[in-house]
């Protein structure tokens, strides 16, 4: 969550600060290189925004899977307890029957 918030803040700062400055400079100078720099930064911002969106989706999926994981962990614990019970109780009885 902290990474998402930090990313959103940084994206907002870049779009409102550096990107606006580059676009104004490109419009003012009419230089193709300045326009390309502004376009490159805008594309970087778009890619970063998509990465933030993917991070939000990943967080949501993990939150939705948490109950399923907990259920599997509980089932595994029950299975371990049953196996330990079998080893502790059934095997000694079986040994006594064999002797």
Q: What is the mean pLDDT of residues 95-99?
A: 80
The count of other CB atoms within 10 Å of the CB of residue 41 is 17
pLDDT tens-digit map of 27-85: 999 999 999 999 999 999 999 999 999 999 999 999 999 999 999 999 999 999 999 99
Q: How far apart are CA 17 and CA 33, in angstroms?
A: 19
| Residue span of the structural domain in which 64 resides | 2-98
First to last CA, the chain: 63
Q: Which CB contacts under 8 angstroms, 24+ apart, belong to 57-62?
A: 59/1, 59/4
pLDDT recorded at residue 89: 87
pLDDT recorded at residue 55: 96
Count of the separate structural domains present in the chain? 1
pLDDT higher than threshold 80 for residue 99 = no
Report whether 37 contacts 24 (CB < 8 A).
no
């Amino acid at each position: 969550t902290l990474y998402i918030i930090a990313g959103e803040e940084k994206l907002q700062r870049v779009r409102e600060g550096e990107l606006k400055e580059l676009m104004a400079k490109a419009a003012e100078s009419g230089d193709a290189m300045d326009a390309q720099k502004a376009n490159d930064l805008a594309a970087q911002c778009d890619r970063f925004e998509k990465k933030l969106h993917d991070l939000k989706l990943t967080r949501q999926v993990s939150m939705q899977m948490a109950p399923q994981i907990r259920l599997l962990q509980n089932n595994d614990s029950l299975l371990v307890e049953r196996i330990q019970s079998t080893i502790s109780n059934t095997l000694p009885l079986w040994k006594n029957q064999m002797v």
